[in-house]
Chain A
Amino acid sequence: MESALIEVVDLFKSYQRDSLEIPVLRNISLKIAEGDFLAFMGPSGSGKTTLLNLIAGIDKPTSGKILIGDTDITELSETELAVWRSHNIGFIFQFYNLIPVLTALENVELPLILTPLSRKERRSHAETALEVVGLGERMHHFPRQLSGGQEQRVAIARAIATDPAILVADEPTGDLDKVSAEEVLELMHRLNRELNKTILMVTHDPRAAERARSVRNLDKGELA
């Protein structure tokens, strides 16, 4: 096995509802190698998205450690986490989450604002990312002028624009028709294979999971 890029140790997450403590994740420990394409599957409410959010650093665990490279992200403050995410994580959401008032190119350029790149370099990076996802011809289209599949490809271009080590995808094909879903999965597969991106994907779709190198099942907050 290749060296672990991500190591989750004794992770526990619960939510407080009034006086009730509702456990969502229990005693999760796993290692994910660099360059892996891992799919999390499981029924609704099993804790897949929560685990993905915790690894992506957009949520905090109740206890446990998440080591990404040499960094224990559970120790980082909100501000440090924001900076860390901007360097290390690319997000692909189910509903694309593009900014509707920005063109495809501007949406992809958005995370690059946080880098020290010049305006010209940012534009060049964004154009390259859009070329990679096959949308070089649609750079100046607004999200409303694109199909669902194209929007998701713009979202993937945005996710890879800063060249992060890890891509997290929460139901990336959940809102797409079969053909578009296939295109998106193929693209993610290519990113994993050709660019060695570590991809963590949450999905209900067995066909999507088939494209992953490995699959982990969650049930009632525990890894099966």
Chain B
Amino acid sequence: MELLKLLLRNTLRHKLRSVLTLTGIGVAVMAFALLQTVVTAWHAGVEASAANRLITRHAVSFVFPLPLAYRDRIAQVRGVNKVTYASWFSGVYIDKNQFFARLAVDSETFFDVYPEFVVEREQFEAFKRERNACIIGVDIARRYNLDLGDIMLIEGDVYPGQWEFVVRGIYQPKDQTTDPASMMFHYQYLEERVRQDMPQRSGEIGWYIVRIDDPDGSASISQEIDQLFANSRAETKTETERAFQQSFLSAASAVITAMNIMSFVIIGIILLVLANTMVMSARERTHEFAVLKALGFSAGQLFFLIAGEALILSTLGSALGLLVTVPAVEGFQTALPKGWFPVFYIKPETIVLGCVSALVVGLAASLIPLRRVLSTRIVEGLRHVG
């Protein structure tokens, strides 16, 4: 017989209570991981930002266009490696609630600057050859059952009219932080229609993406670019891609902060649930702990019994919660309107945080009963009626 056997038997002594505690911890850990995953999803754009990319947009607002003519001047700035551009096309495809990004891009340069959109060479060549071709993310292809050669009809809003695209490429995201649900098509296709139907908007693009040689030079290069267009008809604001993405989050920052706080409140709830169980268990066993102390068991051995039990419960509960988190996250994503969170995955850090929290909570929950057991005199413990 080892002390471990007593520890395990104690853990299972009140099966219903242990199961309820495990379930409570499991549900709380799942809620924690789910909230953390939502927070991660909000920050996905920021996470996916490259350090060597700058965004140049209209100084007043992102919604105002910039002249295409700026491209060559930006390209001449020292430290600039490549310049590409994109325009927000928007539009409605099948269902206006099914959102995904639709961008008119410079097909010659865009995919060089964004290597995280991985397109097969043949598909990319086919895309470049066809005027109204588009490349879609693998998620879009899956969601709408689209394949190469299929037609996408989009009702334009920012650029009114019926727009017809042919799927010539399906990109794979390079990693989990890359948006797998975007659509890119030739800016030239857009420009031709705009020149014809909305000539006053011809020669305009949404924003520039500037690839630089050295990320450390981003501040000076940004300043230099903006200096080029100071006091012009369309002044620019250049910032790192990360700062650009973060500016989109600022409106929702209060909600994100609240969710973040809530997720840690849940850890506190786990602590209370477990501490309550451990206090009850220790109180019921006051007599037994007094006997163990009388027999000569040390404080360290009593710590092993109490903290061990708390750690077993918290670790098993957390494992259960993290196990349930996988289907819960999938279910949550399914329940949301498509496109809300194009990047939605459980970060390894969330799992690590869940596990570490379990350990910390397990130890913390055992402190009160441990203190009580150690401070109770043997003779008082033996007199205790549980």
Q: Does A119 contact B (CB under 8 A)?
A: yes
Q: Which residues of chain A in 31-66 are interfacial with respect to chain B, using CB atoms and an 8 Å cutoff?
A: 50, 53, 56, 58-59
A101 with B13, Cβ < 8 A, contacts A59-B379, A91-B294, A114-B295 known: yes
Q: Contact at B296–A86, with CB atoms within 8 Å?
A: yes
A9 at the interface (CB under 8 A from B): no
Q: Closest chain A residue to B285 by CB distance?
A: A99
Residues of A in contact (CB 8 Å), total 29
A93-B382, A102-B1 known; A85+B295 contact, CB < 8 A: yes
Number of A-B contacts (CB under 8 A): 68
* Inter-chain contacts of A93 with B (CB < 8 A): 291, 382
Q: Are B295 and A111 in contact (CB under 8 A)?
A: yes
Our pick among B1, B10, B292, B377 for the contact of A59 (Cβ within 8 Å) is B377
B342-386 with Cβ < 8 A to chain A: 377-379, 382
A105 → B minimal CB distance (Å): 8
Q: A83-B296, A91-B294, A110-B295 are in contact. Are A58 and B379 (CB under 8 A)?
A: yes
Name the A residues within 8 Å of B1 (CB-CB): 102, 105-106, 109-110, 113, 119, 122-123
Distance (Å) between the CB of A187 and the closest chain B CB? 20
- Cβ of B96 under 8 Å from chain A: no
A123: chain B residues at CB < 8 Å are 1
Taking a contact as CB atoms under 8 Å apart, the answer to whether B297 and A82 are in contact is yes
Q: Is A145 an interface residue, CB under 8 A from the partner?
A: no
Q: Which residues of B contact A71 (CB under 8 A)?
A: none
Decide: B10 and A58 in contact? CB cutoff 8 A. no
Contact call A101/B9, Cβ cutoff below 8 A? yes
**A101: chain B residues within 8 A (beta carbon):** 6, 9-10, 13
- Chain A 80-130 residues near chain B, CB threshold 8 A: 82-87, 91, 93, 97, 99-102, 105-106, 109-111, 113-114, 119, 122-123
Which residues of chain B come closer than 8 Å to A58, judged between CB atoms? 293-294, 378-379, 382
Task: Tell me, in angstroms, the Cα distance from A105 to B5 when the chains sit together.
Answer: 13
Q: Which residues of A contact B296 (CB under 8 A)?
A: 82-87, 111, 114
The answer, yes or no, to whether A19 is at the interface (CB within 8 Å) is no
User: With A58-B378, A106-B1, A113-B1 in contact, do A99 and B6 touch (Cβ < 8 Å)?
Assistant: yes
What 1/0 mask marks residues of chain B from 1 to 39 whose CB sits below 8 Å from any chain A CB?
Answer: 111011001100100000000000000000000000000
Answer yes or no: A16 CB below 8 A from chain B CBs: no
Is the pair A113, B3 in contact by a Cβ cutoff of 8 Å? yes
In Å, the complex CA distance between A83 and B1 comes to 20
| Chain B residues with CB under 8 A of A113 | 1-3
With a cutoff of 8 Å between Cβ atoms, the chain A residues found around residue B295 in the complex are 85-86, 91, 110-111, 114
CB distance from B271 to the nearest CB of A (A): 26
Determine which residue in B2, B294, B298 has the highest number of CB atoms from chain A within 10 A of its CB, and name it.
B294
B371: min CB distance to chain A, Å: 15
Contacts of B292 in A (CB 8 A): 110
Q: Considering the complex, give the chain B residue whose CB is closest to the CB of A95.
A: B287
Classify chain B: how many residues form its interface, as a range.
20 to 34
Q: Of A82, A83, A91, A102, which contacts B9 at CB under 8 A?
A: A102
A84: B residues at CB distance < 8 A:
296
Q: Considering the chains assembled together, what is the distance between the CA atoms of A83 and B301 in angstroms?
A: 13
Docked pose: A150 CA to B70 CA in angstroms: 96
Known: A97-B291, A114-B295. A53 touches B2 (CB 8 A): no
CA distance A86 to B293 in the complex (A): 9
Cα distance, A67 to B291, chains bound together (Å): 23
**Interface-centre pick from A82, A86, A122 (highest chain B CB count, 10 A):** A82
Contact partners of B378 in chain A: CB under 8 A: 53, 58-59
Chain A, residue nearest B12 (CB): A101
B3 touching A106, Cβ below 8 Å: no
Is B288 interfacial (CB-CB < 8 Å)? yes
Identify the interface centre among B1, B3, B297: most chain A CB within 10 Å of its CB. B1
Identity of the chain A residue whose Cβ is nearest the Cβ of B378 in the assembled complex: A58
Residues of A162-181 whose CB lies within 8 A of B: none
Taking CB atoms, residues of chain A closer than 8 Å to B9 are 101-102
A79: interface (CB < 8 Å): yes
Bound together, the chains give a CA A102 to CA B2 distance in angstroms of 11
CB closest residue in chain B, given A82: B296
Q: Complex Cα distance A53/B294, Å?
A: 10
B249 CB to nearest chain A CB (Å): 53
Contact yes or no, A99 B288, CB < 8 A: yes
Q: Which residues of A contact B299 (CB under 8 A)?
A: 79
Interface pairs (17), CB distance under 8 Å? A58-B378, A79-B298, A82-B298, A83-B296, A84-B296, A93-B291, A97-B288, A97-B291, A105-B1, A106-B5, A109-B1, A110-B1, A110-B6, A111-B295, A111-B296, A113-B1, A122-B1
Using A93-B291, A101-B13, A113-B2 as known contacts, list a sample of 19 further A-B pairs with CB atoms less than 8 Å apart, ordered by residue number in A. A56-B294, A58-B378, A58-B379, A59-B378, A82-B293, A83-B296, A84-B296, A86-B295, A91-B291, A101-B10, A102-B9, A105-B1, A106-B6, A110-B6, A110-B292, A111-B295, A113-B1, A114-B295, A119-B1
Residues of A within 8 A of B (CB): 50, 53, 56, 58-59, 79, 82-87, 91, 93, 97, 99-102, 105-106, 109-111, 113-114, 119, 122-123
Which positions in B face A, CB cutoff 8 Å? 1-3, 5-6, 9-10, 13, 287-288, 291-299, 377-379, 382
Q: Which 10 A-B pairs have the closest CB atoms?
A: A86-B296, A101-B9, A58-B378, A109-B1, A106-B1, A97-B291, A82-B296, A85-B296, A111-B295, A59-B379
